[in-house]
């Protein structure tokens, strides 16, 4: 029988993984990021003291982006994962799409914080104020970073958009 936390995690993990994949641009790192995030939420969920989490989905999303940013600040984050997670050897199905390749290339040119702002604003569809609160930035800083990220990625995203137009709703 699943615990309440496991039910929550099963429901939220697909969305967390989408954000993680865009932030990391790579499957293994995204999987690692999601598991680290779930571990943090698990500890908070089961702690003895204090009130329960008010909004677990928002808490998990915030934990994900903060974990990503913390890891990027550490020196080890410049290393690429390669053989440490061998359980699913083989080609990365996520890399099979030209759209994804273009997107990864566009996002890779951004600073981690700019990338995070972009993901929160346009994948998670959060307002400027919500992004500012989750990242500990001012709203002005979020707007600036969002605008800068869009400007830098626009050429690649425009090309990708043209390619992907047939897939868009």
Helices (H), the chain: 4-24, 27-45, 56-73, 98-108, 112-122, 128-135, 139-164
By the rule CB under 8 A, 38 interacts with another protein: yes
126, 33, 22, 167 alpha-carbon torsion, rounded to 10°: -90
The answer to whether residue 86 forms part of the interface with another protein (CB under 8 A) is no
Within residues 51-70, the interface with another protein by CB under 8 A covers: 51, 66
Q: Does 34 bind another protein (CB under 8 A)?
A: yes
Site stretch for another protein (CB under 8 A), options 39-47, 75-83, 108-116:
39-47
- Applying CB under 8 A, the span of 28-36, 75-83, 109-117 interacting with another protein comes to 28-36
Stretch that binds another protein, among 74-82, 109-117, 131-139 (CB under 8 A): 131-139
1 binds another protein (CB under 8 A): no
Tell me if 44 sits within 8 A of 59, measured CB to CB. Answer: yes
Give the shortest CB-122-to-another protein separation in angstroms: 4
**By the rule CB under 8 A, 122 interacts with another protein:** yes
Binding status of residue 21 toward another protein by CB under 8 A: yes
Burial letters 103-131, b for 16+ CB under 10 A, else e: bbebbeebebbbbbbbbbbeebebebebb
């Amino acid at each position: 029988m699943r615990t309440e936390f496991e039910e929550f995690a099963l429901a939220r993990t697909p969305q967390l993984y989408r954000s993680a994949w865009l932030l990391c641009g790579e499957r293994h790192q995204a999987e690692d990021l999601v598991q680290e995030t779930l571990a943090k939420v698990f500890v908070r969920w089961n702690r003895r003291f204090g009130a329960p989490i008010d909004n677990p989905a928002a808490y998990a999303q915030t934990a994900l982006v903060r974990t990503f940013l913390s890891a990027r600040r550490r020196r080890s984050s410049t290393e690429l994962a390669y053989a440490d997670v061998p359980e699913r050897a083989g080609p990365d199905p996520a890399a099979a799409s030209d759209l994804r390749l273009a997107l990864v290339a566009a996002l890779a040119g951004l600073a981690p914080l700019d990338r995070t702002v972009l993901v929160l604003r346009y994948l998670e569809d959060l307002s400027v104020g919500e992004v500012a609160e989750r990242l500990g930035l001012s709203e002005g800083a979020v707007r600036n970073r969002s605008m800068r990220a869009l400007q830098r990625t626009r050429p690649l995203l425009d090309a990708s958009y043209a390619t992907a137009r047939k897939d868009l709703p």
